[in-house]
Structure 1
Amino acid sequence: MGAMVLLSLLLTHAPCRGETAQEIYHAALSSFSMPLSDLMEKEHDSEWNNLFSGFSGSLAFNYPLADTVEESRGPDGTQTETGFRKATVSATFKYNPISYWFASVTFNGYLNFDESNPWCPDCRAPWDPDFSYAFGYDDWHPYTFSLTYANYGGNRINPDKEKGEKVTDFSSGTYSLGWKFPVPRSIEELFIVHPTGGLGGGINYNLTPTYSDLASGEEKSWKQSLSLTLKYTIYKWWYATITCYYYPRPDQQQPWDPDYTYGFGYFDWHPGTVSIQYNNYSGNRYPWNESPEDTGSFKDGSISVLWSWVW
């Protein structure tokens, strides 16, 4: 409820930064623009470079702070728990053909540093993807709208049909309709400690066509949520961010669906740079909500090191 009150305050005062109603209107109207003439413009003298123009990506190493716990049962029926540190390496490829339209895919590999050979494909949980993907329109400018689709489920490059695996289940991905806004200057000035700092936000309506319901063990339809994201730039590329969620139908929220997520660190979007971040996407709960077991603490987050590139 507190997040919704804050959201109402921000939206009421968002234009109070010197922008005119016409400027805000034009920014919103520019959303989903598709200047087809840009496709005919060549950015490089080399035809080879022009062929790959618009491609960018990153290489990342993700290290969790907590062990992954697996339960196993021996021949005598004795149940044991073993813990290991499951890290992830990933490669992301993103293509911007025109304006702010994009498509991206991320390939993941899993590591277990408790073994002599850390490469560990068997360490994947059913929900750990071999690859994830997203596409849509996402403009970073304030007062613009976005519409994206993302699928981070248990996608498999070589699915095991006996285990019920699929290359991908498109209906389990999430559609998000968003709007970005600047925080009122009077509020932003309370946080700024350096001229390079700032405070911005965005709201999203998220819709997932099919999802797994833990309580019933069934597949259900049309899970909805609203999210409010605030990003605080402290100094140049140092930042902190939080996203708060609201579920119109509380029964649709699963133990792994968070009340909020958060992160902080150093992120430089320029190509050829290295970024270091902490992120926590676990089942975090507000103080007045009951927390799921073994999730929602600081140690359930992870540290990532990322190197970005552009063609």
Structure 2
Amino acid sequence: MGSKRTLVTGCYGQLGRAVRALAERRGVAGEFDFCDIDTFDMGDPAAYGQFDWDAYGTVINCGAFTAVDAAETPEGRVSCWRANASGPSLLARTCAAHGATLVHVSSDYVFDGTRALHDEKEPLSPISVYGQSKAAGDLAVMGCPRHYILRSSWVIGDGKNFVRTMWGLSDRVAAGELAQVTVVDDQEGRLTFTDQMAAAIFHLLDAGAPFGLYDMTGSGAVRTWADIARATFEAANGNGDKVVPVTTAAYYASAKGPVAPRPEHSALDLSKLEATGFSPRDWEDELAEYLASLRAELRG
């Protein structure tokens, strides 16, 4: 990554933790600085004066507002745009001024989900506040001459995530607290495990790959959220039959607050990233390993 230091924002999040872990495994963590919103609010122009930006050759932005439904509220909309659009815009301007490389993580939510497979050339078409803010952030980052944008979907890593939530629900069904669980089956995509995203980021930087936008998720079959929930229930308690598939409309029919529209199709074309020499692992293999680790953690 060069002789200069690397700054990682959003270090407490799932991806930030994965980037730190990979840096530690590679023995280069001493060349990194890590921060989160408690010490560096990247959406605040006044916060930028605390750093000597000439010391950094690379900035890896792992920070984001990801509460997609909360983003549809008046308060959430402000926070969402600050983190996902204003912050990346300020980072891009700063990195451009100091000749640094900016790495930024995007989302399948920048698309309306009408295409079965999305590639890097597809026009932006967000249908939610979260998606709109991420699209704006992408456009801002593209203004930095030295940039990598990695577009992801359905992120799973250390911390609260869909699979861990499903495991807990499986336990509640097994204990008789719940009869069954409904999960949407009309949204399709692939999981993105944060260890693979971190590895892809390091690969692009180390390989000196062409700057630009890359799709990055796990490889393999395209599934639904209900499929993933069923696999988790089976691994947890052998009760996958207690996952009842429903439409998105039916699932959110009784929601009390605003609900963000979701893309129906979230699968991303990985061929551009693979052409650089990085082949993401099959996400179902990673899911099996992750479920095994959850069993060891939660069952003792």
TM-score tier by shorter-chain length is under 0.3
Which is bigger in relative contact order (C-alpha 8 A, separation at least 6)?
2
**Which structure shows the bigger proportion of residues in helix conformation?**
2
The TM-score normalised by the length of structure 2 is 0.25
Give the strand-richer structure, 1 or 2: 1
Q: Higher Cα Rg: structure 1 or 2? A: 1
Q: TM-score, normalised by structure 1?
A: 0.25
